[in-house]
Chain A
Amino acid sequence: MTATRAEVAAVACSDLFRGAGTILASTVGIVPTIGARLARLTHAPDLLLSDGEATLYADTPAVDEPFREPEAPFAYARLFELIARGRRHVVMGAAQIDRQGDQNLSAIGDRDHPSRQLLGARAAATNTVNHATSYWIARHSPRVFVERVDVVTGVGPARARAAGADRFQDLRRIVTDLAVLDFTGPAGTVALVSLHPGVALDQVTAATGFPVHIPADVPETRLPTDEELRLVRERLDPRGLRDREVTAS
């Protein structure tokens, strides 16, 4: 079976949770949500999943179907306690990510007169200094990967270190429609980990608005197994929502 780009990305998101154990997987976006559920159905059975509202669920439905088997109540107040406790891995989106690994969800432009007001700080600062954090970027482009973010909501390695807030920081990876990246460049800057099959290196460098660190060896992102493809196509996303989020074939 030939995997699509969205399927490769979904499996890369699943791999974020390898060895995670009994923690809460929180995801924003279709592809990471498929990834977390795929992880629970394959290599990470002890993951906890919520409906993003107030309940943890024992079942693992398709991404556009409701959960049905409540496992425990999980009000927002409990979420903040859990974050402080650290037993969570979040995959957030970003309006911008920069070379230092800082993320922006808040606004584009000047603080008092933004050209584009976005969500606000949300809990990005809380997440990034307390537990495992990854990012999902559906369209890898210089608009997202910028030299300097306009507002730092999620804290990158250098700033966390400088502020003495790196004790519990655990930045993992950035999965995009083109590649997998992480924060292992010089001084914790963004580095390339792997290229998705069919993606050339210069495609990624052209789509990244700063000089991304390129290690000597850049492998291809692994292909999904037949079992993973079957689970994604038949069980987790039979109506193909992933292809709306990732347009490349």
Chain B
Amino acid sequence: MSDKRLSIEEAVATIESGMTIGIGGWGSRRKPMALVREILRRDITDLTVVAFGGPDVGLLAAAGRIRRLVYGFVSLDSIPLDPLFTQARERGGLEIEEYDEGMFVAGLRAASARLDFLPIRAGLGSDVLPANPHLRTVQSPYSDAEYVAMPALPLDVALVHVNRADEQGNAQYLGPDPYFDDLFAMAADRTIVSAERVVPTSALLDEGSFHTLLFSRIYASAVVEAPRGAHFTTCAPDYDRDEAFQKHYAVSAKDPEAWAEFERTFLHTDEAGYQAAVTRFHTDRGES
């Protein structure tokens, strides 16, 4: 069987400007942050980003990499709003397609089943429809009911981060919620799976039951080992959200000078440099 392991640089080098990328996780939970940081290091721009947004969206929007954002919300969870995203919106120029979360899920489901659309009750009567004039409704052939015809959200590439994967891309989550990573993978032409640890297939059941295997290698095209690759979002049970660091991110984001310093310290470096700087951040705060 084919070994799909790539370095983070090799994997992200396959993403081209102008692509539609789906980013797994949810808010500030199990986001493929190492893959996002690698996009930031590269000259990849003009992206259409499809996500239940968190700091992934904040960072990409602030760096001007997003041409169009398809989302239902952007939140840091313990901090309600992501300052980088709200600033990008309030500056203007960020093209958005805002969907209700239920519609968003229907769009991924449609894409994963290669359907043009799926009918959904949600959205009728709300401003989601007038704000997205391409949206159409569909009449039930069986009753008088009318539904939103939520268009498919097909992806060129999906980026997801999981707790464990094997080298073929069988992906496992060990935390409480799979989120919609399997749907993102199924809705995409290609999926880059980053994992806390890449383990032999035979070791996939060492830490979790059979039901923690989220999706199979059918849906994975590349596997990247990225320890602490979801930092600073939660990747339970491997680690929780780094609340102190997230707060530092959010506070820094509100002040241009502090943000420049944040970028110098944490983003103008490779992944190993980022992780080392995070360790120093905690050491300097008197945490071991």
Contacts and interface: CB of A to CB of B under 8 A. Distances in A.
A117 B90 contact: yes
Given A53-B177, A118-B81, A129 B122 contact: yes
Given A117-B90, A130-B122, 6 more contacts: A54-B177, A77-B105, A126-B121, A128-B126, A129-B122, A168-B121
Contact of A80 (B53, B71, B75, B101): B101
Given A120-B72, A125-B103, A126-B103, A160 B178 contact: no
A84 B177 contact: no
Interface residues of A, number: 45
Interface in B58-95: 71-75, 80-81, 85-86, 89-90, 92
A6 interface: no
B102 A117 contact: no
Given A53-B177, A159-B125, A122 B89 contact: no
B203 interface: no
A27 interface: no
A231 interface: no
B218 interface: no
A168 B122 CA distance: 11
Contacts, number: 129
B13 interface: no
B178 A121 contact: no
Nearest to B102: A126
Contacts of A77: 105, 178, 180, 183
A172 B210 CA distance: 42
Contact of A121 (B101, B120, B124, B176): B101
A72 to B, nearest CB: 12
Nearest to B29: A53
A106 interface: yes
B176 A53 contact: yes
Interface of B: 26, 53, 71-75, 80-81, 85-86, 89-90, 92, 98-103, 105, 120-128, 131, 144-146, 175-180, 183
A120 B103 contact: no
Q: Which 3 A-B pairs have the closest CB atoms?
A: A126-B102, A165-B124, A54-B177
B13 to A, nearest CB: 31
Contacts of B102: 80, 83-84, 123, 125-126
Interface stretch (A30-38, A148-156, A214-222, A241-249): A148-156
B151 to A, nearest CB: 16
Given A54-B177, A112-B92, A113-B90, A124 B75 contact: no
Nearest to A93: B80
Among B75, B123, B124, B179: residue with most chain A CB under 10 A: B124
B125 A129 contact: yes
A114 B87 CA distance: 10
